[in-house]
């Protein structure tokens, strides 16, 4: 089986480019490979689509969750899989690289050993439509978590910080520092929600996490009960919490106890629509992509993972 190895040299503040030459020697079990370095954001989707049409059966992403999500989008054309049997794997070298944690893989070395075993899993894929930064409607697929509210501001700050402080501070410290600063200054917006086309409600939120996977923010467990194979989104709604209460309960996010915090609600659904009169930033798999209004749809058992 021919394998495309797609390396994002900018991932993790340059960590992927720096570490891949040595790591590639540990991946000698891969045969019939072609390596390509991405040059710009969004390019991974086009490259993957091109190589799948050439008959490549596996794609290995060396980078973060954002690059992995771009590659996943390349497995589809007009929301239809180009090759239902094609496999997508990753070596996690991004700022957060949280997706694999849902599968119980927490390190680069562990993942390389796992890839050699050729484990596969048919997983769910999220679809999201939103306003991009130019104010135009745009859609994409995602594997892990999308969120809006304070988190959109946090991810934007993290991505800017990673370019200058990512290597020195480390992913967890960068995320935590950005989270604390942004949380203390963020003005919580009122949003209107429509769940599964039936239930409607208005709520003031700090954050709303639309979870396929469990982790984001370099180890924050926002979707402790989420599953990538159950055909449902797990929503974690963080409401208008007092700042002190949020700070005192920060540790519970890492412990998987966020749903025990007063003012946090869990909802399971297939679809979600959200609108707001305020400008509410949106992130998808660690990339700030635009703002509300947003519509989410779940595509059940749509992509074969290799992990």
pLDDT in tens, 176-221: 787 888 888 899 999 999 999 999 999 999 999 999 999 998 899 9
Residue 296 lies in a domain: yes
Same domain, 276 and 132: yes
Clarify whether residues 111 and 155 are in a common domain.
no
Mean pLDDT of 55-67: 96
Could you give the C-alpha distances from 243 to 106, 183, 190, 249, 279, in angstroms and in order?
31, 8, 17, 10, 21
**136 and 263 housed in the same domain:** yes
Domain assignment present for 178: yes
- Asked whether residue 100 falls in the same domain as residue 188, the answer is no
227-248 tens-digit pLDDT: 999 999 999 999 999 999 999 9
Residue 223 belongs to a domain: yes
Q: With respect to residue 306, please indicate whether it lies within any of the assigned structural domains.
A: no
pLDDT tens-digit series, residues 95-117: 889 999 999 999 999 999 999 99
74 and 161 co-located in one domain:
no
Is the domain of 141 the same as that of 286?
A: yes
Residue 134 and residue 278 in one domain? yes
Average per-residue pLDDT in the chain?
A: 94
Looking at residue 161, its pLDDT comes to 67
- DSSP 8-state secondary structure symbol assigned to residue 188: P
Distance from the Cα of residue 24 to its chain's centroid: 24
Bridge partner list, 132: 290
SS3 call for 287? strand
Of 124, 157, 191, the last residue of a domain is 124
Q: What are phi and psi of 214, to 5 degrees?
A: -95, -35
- The CATH code of the domain that includes 202 is 2.60.200.40
pLDDT at 169: 62
Outline where the chain has alpha helix (H): 11-26, 43-53, 65-74, 108-116, 150-169, 171-185, 243-248, 250-255
Q: Last residue of some domain: 124, 145, 161?
A: 124
Note whether residue 305 is domain-resident. Answer: no
Work out whether strand 58-63 and strand 76-77 pair parallel, antiparallel, or are unpaired: unpaired
Q: Same structural domain for residues 103 and 218?
A: no
The pLDDT of 122-136, averaged and rounded, is 98
Percent of the chain with pLDDT over 90: 85
Residues 83 and 27 in one domain: yes
| Amino acid 90: pLDDT | 98
**Among 97, 105, 110, CA closest to 121:** 105
Question: What region, left, alpha or beta, does residue 8 occupy, with left being phi > 0 and alpha being psi -120 to 50 degrees?
Answer: beta
Q: What is the pTM of this model?
A: 0.92
pLDDT tens digits, one per residue of 134-185: 999 999 999 999 999 999 888 877 777 655 544 556 667 777 787 888 888 8
């Amino acid at each position: 089986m021919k394998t495309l190895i797609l390396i994002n040299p900018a991932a993790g503040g340059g960590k992927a480019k720096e570490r891949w030459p040595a790591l590639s020697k540990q991946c000698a079990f891969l045969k019939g490979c072609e390596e390509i370095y991405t040059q710009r954001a969004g390019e991974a989707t086009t490259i993957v689509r091109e190589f799948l049409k050439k008959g490549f059966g596996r794609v290995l992403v060396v980078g973060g969750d954002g690059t992995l999500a771009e590659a996943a989008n390349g497995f589809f054309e007009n929301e239809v899989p180009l090759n239902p049997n094609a496999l997508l794997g990753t070596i996690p070298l991004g700022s957060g690289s949280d997706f694999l944690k849902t599968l119980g893989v927490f390190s680069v070395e562990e993942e390389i050993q796992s890839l050699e075993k050729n484990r596969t899993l048919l997983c769910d894929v999220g679809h999201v439509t939103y306003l991009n930064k130019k104010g135009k409607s745009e859609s994409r697929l995602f594997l892990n978590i999308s969120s809006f509210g304070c988190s959109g501001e946090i991810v934007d700050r993290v991505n800017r910080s990673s370019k200058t402080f990512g290597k020195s501070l480390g992913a967890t410290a960068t995320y935590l520092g950005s989270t604390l600063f942004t949380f203390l200054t963020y003005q919580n917006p009122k949003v209107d929600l429509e769940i599964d086309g039936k239930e409607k409600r208005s709520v003031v939120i700090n954050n709303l996490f639309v979870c396929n996977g469990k982790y984001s923010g370099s180890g924050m467990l926002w979707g402790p009960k989420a599953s990538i194979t159950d055909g449902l989104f797990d929503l974690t709604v963080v409401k208008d919490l007092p700042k002190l209460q949020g700070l005192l309960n920060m540790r519970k996010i890492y412990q998987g106890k966020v749903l025990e915090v007063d003012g946090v609600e869990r909802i399971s659904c297939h679809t979600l629509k959200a609108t707001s009169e305020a400008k509410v930033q949106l992130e998808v798999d660690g990339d700030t992509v635009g703002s509300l209004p947003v519509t989410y749809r779940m595509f059940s058992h749509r992509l074969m993972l290799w992990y």
